[in-house]
Amino acid sequence: MSNMSQSVPFPESVSRISNLRIGAGAIGLVLGIFAAIGLLTQGHESFNTNSNISWGLPVATYVFFVLTSTGLTFVASLAMVFGMKDFYPIAKRCIWGAIATLVTGFIALGLEIGNPLRMIWVIPTNMATSSPMWWMGLFYLSYAVFLVWKFLLVNKGDWTSGQSKVIGILSFVTVIFAHATLGSVFGMMGMRPFWYGGMVPVYFLITAALSGLAFIMLFINLDYGMNQANMSDKVRSAMTRYMPPIFGLALGLVLVFTLTRTVTGLWSNVPELNIPMSYIVGTFWYQAEIWIGMVLPLALMLSSYRSNAKVQTLAGLLVILALFIGRYEYVVGGQLVPMFKGAWYDDLLMYAPSMTEWGVVILAAAIGLLLYAFGEKKLSLADAPNE
Partner 1 sequence: MAKWGMVIDLEKCTGCQACSTACAMENNTLPGESWQDVLYYKEGKYPNVNIKWFPRPCMHCENPSCMHVCPTKATYKDENGFVLIDWNKCIGCKYCMIACPYGVRFYTDEKPLIEPDMKKVYPGQDGQQYSPPYQNPNSDWTKGVGIQPKGVVSKCTFCYHKVSKAPAGVADLDEDNPALKEYVPACVRTCAPKARYFGDLDNPDSTVNRLIADKRGVRLLEHTGNKPQVYYLGDHGVVPAFTRPDKS
Partner 2 sequence: MDILKSLITRRRFLQASGAAGAAGAAGLGAAGTFTTLKKAEAAPASSGGTTTITKSICHQCPARCGIDVYTTNGRVHAIYGNSDHPIANGKLCPKGHLGTFILYDPDRFKGPMKRTNPKKGRNEDPGFVPISWDEALGTIAGRLQNLRDKGESHRFALFYGRGWGASCAGLQGTFGKLYGSPNVAIGHASMCSEGSKRAKQATDGNDSYNAYDYRNTNYLLIFGAGFLEAFRPYNYLMQMWGHMRTKSPRTTVTVVDVHANTTTAAADRALYIKPGTDGAMALAIAHVMLTEGLWNKEFVGDFKDGDNLFRTGQHIPAGSFAEKWTSGLETWWNEELKDRTPEWAEKITSIPAKYIRDVAREFGSTRPAMAIMERGPTAHTNGTYNGMAIHALNALSGALFAEGGLHYQMGPSYGSMPVSADDYMDDWAKSGAWKSLPRIDMAKTERWPTAGTMMQEAGPNHLKGDPYKLDTAMFYLTNPIFTAPNGQVWEEAMKDVFVIDTSPYGAETAMYADIIVPDHTYLERLQDAPTYPFEGWPMAQLRVPAVKPVHDTKVYGDILIEIGKRMKGPMADYYKAIDSTENVLRHLAKGFEKDPGDNGVNGFESWKEKGVWYKKPYHWRQWRGDFYEWDGKGYNKKMTADEVKAKLIKTASGKFEFKSAFIEKHADNFSQKLGIPAERIGLIQWVPPKHTGGGDLHFVTPKTAMHAEGRGANLPHAIAYQQPMHGGNRTVYLEIHPDTARKRGIRNGDKVKIKSSVGSIEAYCKYFEGTRPDTVVMPFEHGHWSTLTRWTQNRGSGHSGHLTENVSDPISGLACYYTGTVTVERA
Binding site residues, partner 2, CB under 8 A: 39-45, 111, 114-118, 121, 342-346
User: Smallest gap, in angstroms, from Cβ of residue 39 to partner 2?
Assistant: 7
Candidates 26, 133, 148, 288: give the one binding partner 1 (CB under 8 A): 133
Quote the CA–CA distance of 275 and 277 in Å, as a whole number. Answer: 5
Identify whether the C-beta of residue 216 lies closer than 8 Å to the C-beta of residue 316.
Answer: yes
Answer for which of 130, 162, 284, 387 binds partner 1 (CB under 8 A) is 130
> Is residue 119 within the footprint of partner 1 (CB under 8 A)?
yes
Tell me the three state secondary structure of residue 4. Answer: coil
Question: Per-residue DSSP letters for 238-281?
Answer: IIIIIHHHHHHHHHHHHHHHHHHHHHHHHH---HHHHHHHHHHH
In the region spanning residues 335 to 364, those forming contacts with partner 1, defined by CB under 8 A, are 335, 337-344, 346-348
Could you say which of partner 2, partner 1, none residue 39 binds, taking C-beta under 5 to 8 angstroms by partner kind? partner 2
Rounded Cα–Cα distance for residues 381 and 367 (Å): 18
337: partner contacted, choices partner 2, partner 1, none (Cβ within 5-8 A by kind): partner 1
**d(Cα 76, Cα 379) in Å, to the nearest integer?**
16
Q: Which does 111 bind (CB under 5 to 8 A by kind): partner 1, partner 2, none?
A: partner 2
The 10 Å CB-count burial string (b at 16+, else e) for 219-252 is bbbbbbbbebebbbebbbebbbebbbebbbbbbe
Is 385 buried (19+), middle (13-18) or exposed (0-12) by CB count in 10 A?
buried
CB of 90 to partner 2, least distance (A): 38
Residue type, 116: P
In the complex with partner 2, the residue whose CB is nearer, 41 or 269, is 41
Least distance between partner 1 and beta carbon 279 (Å): 8
- To partner 2, the closest distance from the beta carbon of 118 in angstroms equals 4
Q: Which does 192 bind (CB under 5 to 8 A by kind): partner 1, partner 2, none?
A: partner 1
Residue 63: how many other CB atoms lie within 10 Å: 30
CB of 68 to partner 1, least distance (A): 21
- Per CB under 8 A, the list member of 24, 26, 29, 132 interacting with partner 1 is 132
Rule CB under 8 A: which residues touch partner 1?
43-45, 47-52, 54-55, 113-116, 118-119, 122-123, 126-128, 130-134, 137, 185, 188-192, 271-272, 275, 334-335, 337-344, 346-348
